[in-house]
Amino acid sequence: MKKKSQISKGFLLFLFLFPVVVFSQETIFGTVVNQDTGEGIPFINVIEDGTNNGTASDIDGNFSINVSSLPVTLKVFAIGFTEKLVPVSNAGEIKIQVKESLESLDEVVVTGLATSVKRSNAANAVSTVSSEDLAGLTPPQTLDGALAGKFAGALITKSSGAPGGGISVKLRGVTSINGNSQPLYIVDGVYVNNNSISGAGLNAVSGAAAGGNASSQDNPSNRIADINPDDIESVEILKGASAAAIYGARAAAGVVIITTKKGKRGQTKISFKQDIGFNSILRPRGQRTFTAERAESSFGAGEGQAFLDAQAAGTLIDYEDEVYGEKGFITNTSVNVSGGSENTLFYAAFSNNEEDGIVKNTGYDRKSIRFNLDHDFFDRRAKLSLTTNYVNSKADRGFFNNDNTGTTIGVALTSTPPWADLRPNDIGVYPDNPYGASNPLQTRDLITNREDVNRFIVGSTLDLDLYENDKSNLKLVLRGGVDYYNLVTTAFFPKLLQFQNLNNGGVNGLSALGTTENKDANYSAFLVHNYTTTNNLNFTTQAGITKQTFFRNTVRNITTDLIAFETNLDQGANVSVTQFRQEQEDQGFFIQEELNYQDKIIGTLGVRGDKSSNNGDANELFYYPKASAAINFHNFEFWKTEIVNQFKIRAAYGEAGNFAPNGALFTTYTNTLIDGVAGIIAPAILGNSNILPERQKEFEIGFDASFLNKRIGLEFSYYNKTVDDLILQANIEPSSGFTTEFSNAGNLSNRGVEVALNASIIEKENFT
């Protein structure tokens, strides 16, 4: 009875205390909204500050949390938003406004093939460009053009003014003479091809390659122009070997890492944007001021009177304005849809970019479709990311650039005086230009030089959490990607062109068709292990293997001596076919160890090993080490100043490679007819099967600082770069049957200073 009585008393005590416990809790509920848009923010964390008591908002931004007593402070935070502390005195409904934080999105930079680090801890000079900086105000037509002027250490120049590309990007100066000097582009983990492929056969008309490389003299565009800048979330530029060593044998010219936009959790959003603009010449050179005497001395007897007659009749023609005076209409149209649930995010976009050139019959048209998907499963222990992009582009590029025959439009204009009337008559017949090898107006109006591209870029990444406890975790990262495109180049020079006439040394009309099939694929698998000691020393270890395959097949067909106005390749007397084929396979490994002591001292050691079928010995591994260290003085206890918010010194060393150019390894013979019998002839250049890749070594030191509540940022870097085993064409004894040979015959050094100053001068709610 006594035991039963005690149980009864205990039960009565529980009934008495239970309402007290329940009613002593206070409930706070409400909505977390975006300060700029007023829309609810889903899945944002709401935590009672200083405790583990918390919740997350639902898909509409609503939340509810019970606290033991009031007043309390709620901490509200999520990736992409500024963390906010909200004091609450009374229970009930509240509305919390938080602001999107671009800084928090941009503060992570790549340090390994499967890892990243906060920008404040980076030991290399890595530049980043956000989507707002890239295409936020005036949308550029091409990605490489959008990067111009956005970061220190780059020389970005146009090699052609034709719409649709032709831009050279050099990071920290020249790194090669005969090898690749353009950076490696990585889009969502996919190796993206940026070759400038000569396929139109313009050299058969212009003779531009008489003393140079046909590929660079045929006015081709570069293929990075296919990437739509509006699809890009951020760009990271690894300028030097100390940062780019993670990509080994392909990184000597630097690496540009591009991340495209992803969906965000919450309600589905549809965005539409329309931009309209014009192209026009900025700084015309203007006409030369002629007199009768000057016309006579420059162009010969009788030309002075011809000038005076045209001047009196008012028929002088400004040929610069006639050719380059068009107002090219530009339209950029884009539609994107994004959203997501707790486990799935999606982003879909369509864009149409059209640009008319400042010269008639030139222009660029690009259509792009993108779909990105991210999905978490196995209780978020696995994440699959899929990125897909289809691009269709057309570019009419005119007939410009280098020329050894005087027939391109720009070259012909230099010798054409304003009193020459080269316009067609009433029935459309153009006169010959007595002052040059071609009539530039006739050339502009009648020739065809077009590139058509169909391209697919697909990438996927699978992250698997294999093991996790309080101090360590192990993750497997699997990644793969394919970049496939088909390029068709079409050129047509009708026989009625002045410079196609047989009497003028022409070939009686030319029709050319080039096709290129290009497929690049990359695969990698990495294990990433994180371990933190009791004194907050963090070790991040990654190790993995990589493989890349490259395939290209270019066939160029050129027909001359055309029948009438036929454009078909079979409607000509002379047909020539050339073909370029390349298959390459690279394999390697990458190992890296990163140490971080309380965000105060950060260090990295790593090595990449690569072998390639493009090397003389396909099984020989070439090693590319890297090492870096940084000290964040502002994270130490002794750092008390409020004026200097951040001060970090950093130093780094790294090595990267550059493959030998095509044709350097082996001697390529040319087919010909010898006394009517098919045969081959030896070229002037001898290949070298023992040639080594160029090796770039770079040491970099610098500091980063921010002042006045991070309103002002200063970055300083000094770098010293050397290139060993530089590949040159060296003279050899003529008795060998050749004149030059590819050889590792030189060294190159390049050093410089980079300074970047960033300032937020005005920060207001509606104006920055």
Q: What mean pLDDT comes out for the span 647-656?
A: 94
Kindly state whether residues 469 and 562 are assigned to the same domain: yes
> Same domain for 79 and 141?
no
> Are 74 and 54 within 8 A, CB to CB?
no
Q: Higher model confidence: residue 4 or residue 116? A: 116
| Domain boundaries, position 54 | 2-100
Cα separations (Å) of 111 from 26, 123, 126, 245?
46, 9, 10, 10
For the segment 252-271, what is each residue's pLDDT rounded down to a tens digit? 888 889 999 998 877 888 99
Does the structure show a pLDDT above 80 at 631? yes
Q: Is residue 304 part of a domain?
A: no
Determine how β-strand 184-187 pairs with β-strand 255-260: parallel
In a domain, 285, yes or no: no
Please say which residue of 69, 100, 131 terminates a domain.
100
CA dist., res. 758 & res. 318, Å (int): 44
| Residue 737, pLDDT above cutoff 80 | yes
* Nearest-angstrom CA–CA distance, 388 and 366: 16
Residues 488, 541: one domain? yes
Q: Are residue 73 and residue 166 in the same domain, yes or no? A: no
At 319, is the secondary structure helix, strand, or coil? helix
CB neighbourhood size of 455 (10 A): 21
Pair (84, 194) in one structural domain: no
The DSSP H or E segment spanning 313 is helix 303-313
Average the pLDDT over each of 36-40, 79-83, 300-304, 571-575 and give the range with the smallest value. 79-83
Does any domain span residue 766?
A: no
Left (φ > 0), alpha (ψ -120 to 50) or beta: where does 164 sit?
left
pLDDT at 139: 62
Indicate the residue among 50, 65, 100 that finishes a domain. Answer: 100
d(CA 363, CA 356): 4
- State the Cα–Cα distance between residues 619 and 511, nearest whole angstrom: 44
Same domain flag for 92 and 240: no
Backbone angles phi, psi at 741, to 5 degrees: -140, 140
Q: Token match 């140490």: residue?
A: 595
Tell me the mean pLDDT in the region 399-403.
Answer: 83
Reading the block at residue 222, the tokens are 């570069």
pLDDT of 371 strictly over 90: yes
Residue found by looking up tokens 């002075």 in the block: 304
Q: What is the average pLDDT across 71-100?
A: 86
Write the DSSP string, 88-141: E-SSEEEEEEE-B-HHHHHSEEE-SSS-EEEGGG--S-EEEEEHHHHHSSS--S
The average pLDDT across 12-28 equals 56
The phi and psi torsions of 546 (rounded to 5 degrees) equal -135, 155
**Domain check: are 51 and 183 in the same one?**
no
Which CATH number is 24's domain given? 2.60.40.1120
Mean pLDDT of the chain: 86
Dist. CA 661–CA 439, nearest whole Å: 38
3 state SS for 508-519: CCEEEEEEEEEE
What is the pLDDT at residue 593? 94
pLDDT tier at 104 (50, 70, 90 boundaries)? very low
The pLDDT tens digits for 30-70 are: 999 988 778 888 878 888 887 768 888 887 888 999 888 89
Same domain membership, residue 115 and residue 71? no
Q: Is the pLDDT of residue 630 over 90?
A: yes
**Structural domain contains residue 8:** yes
Domain of 334, CATH number, reads 2.40.170
The structural domain count of the chain equals: 2
Read off the pLDDT of residues 579-590 as tens digits, 9 standing for 90 and up: 889 899 999 999
Same domain, 165 and 53: no
Kindly report whether the peptide bond that precedes residue 71 is cis, defined as omega within 30 degrees of 0: yes
**Residue range 490-500: average pLDDT?**
92
State the pLDDT at residue 370: 97
- The phi, psi pair for 740, rounded to 5°, reads -135, 160
pLDDT at 137 over 80: no
Report pLDDT for 135: 66
Report the C-alpha gap between 252 and 231 in whole angstroms. 27
pLDDT band, very low/low/confident/very high, at 210 (cuts 50, 70, 90) = low
Listed residue (553, 526, 550) closest to 540, CA to CA: 526
Judge whether 628 and 603 are in contact, CB under 8 Å.
Answer: yes
Domain annotation covers residue 291: no
- The per-residue pLDDT for 21 is 43
Please report which confidence band the pLDDT of residue 105 belongs to, taking 50, 70 and 90 as the band edges.
very low
Mean pLDDT of 87-91: 90
Which strand (E) or helix (H) includes residue 32?
strand 26-34
> What tokens appear for 409 in the block?
């439009």
Q: Is the pLDDT of residue 15 over 50?
A: no
- How many Cα atoms are found within 13 Å in the side-chain-facing hemisphere of 164? 27
pLDDT cut 90: percent of the chain above it: 45
Residue 429 lies in a domain: no
Q: What is the mean pLDDT of residues 89-102?
A: 83
Q: Tell me if 250 sits within 8 A of 695, measured CB to CB.
A: no
When pLDDT is cut at 50, 70 and 90, the band that residue 637 belongs to is confident
More confident residue, 189 or 160: 189
More confident residue, 222 or 624: 624
At residue 345 the predicted structure's pLDDT band, cuts being 50, 70 and 90, is very high
pLDDT mean over 400-421 = 89
pLDDT at position 24, please?
55
Residue that is last in its domain, among 100, 119, 134: 100
The DSSP secondary structure of 654-706, one letter per residue, reads EEEEEPPPTTSSSPPPEEEEETTEEEEE--SEE--TT---EEEEEEEEEEEEE
538 pLDDT more than 80: yes
Distances (CA, A) of 97 to 80, 146, 286, 558: 14, 34, 57, 66
Share of the chain above pLDDT 70, in %: 92
Q: Is 11 exposed, middle or buried (0-12, 13-18, 19+ CB in 10 A)?
A: exposed
Range of weakest confidence among 288-292, 384-388, 454-458: 288-292
Instruction: Kindly list the strands in the beta sheet with 126-130, ordered across the sheet, starting from the edge strand earlier in the chain.
Output: 126-130, 232-238, 255-260, 184-187, 190-192
Higher pLDDT, 692 or 80: 692
> Residue 154 in contact with residue 171, Cβ under 8 Å?
yes
**674-699 burial: b if 16+ Cβ within 10 Å, else e:** eeeeeeeeebebbbbeebbbbbbbbb
For 459-494, the pLDDT digits (tens) are 999 999 998 887 889 999 999 999 999 999 999 999
The reply to whether 57 falls in a domain is yes
Question: Which one, of 349, 351, 354, 350, lies nearest residue 331 by Cα?
Answer: 354
14 & 88 share domain? yes
In a domain, residue 312? The reply is no
Pairing of strands 154-158, 126-130: unpaired
- Residue 502 is classified by DSSP as G
User: What number is the average pLDDT over the span 16-34?
Assistant: 69
Enter the pTM of the model: 0.83
Indicate if 614 and 645 belong to the same structural domain: yes
pLDDT at residue 16, rounded to an integer: 46
84 & 130 share domain: no
Report the interhelical angle of 292-299 vs 303-313 (nearest 10°): 130
Could you tell me which residues come within 8 angstroms of residue 676 by beta carbon, excluding any fewer than 6 positions away? Answer: none
* pLDDT at residue 7 greater than cutoff 70: no
| Predicted confidence band of residue 209 (pLDDT cuts 50, 70, 90) | low
What is the pLDDT confidence band of residue 652, given thresholds at 50, 70 and 90? very high
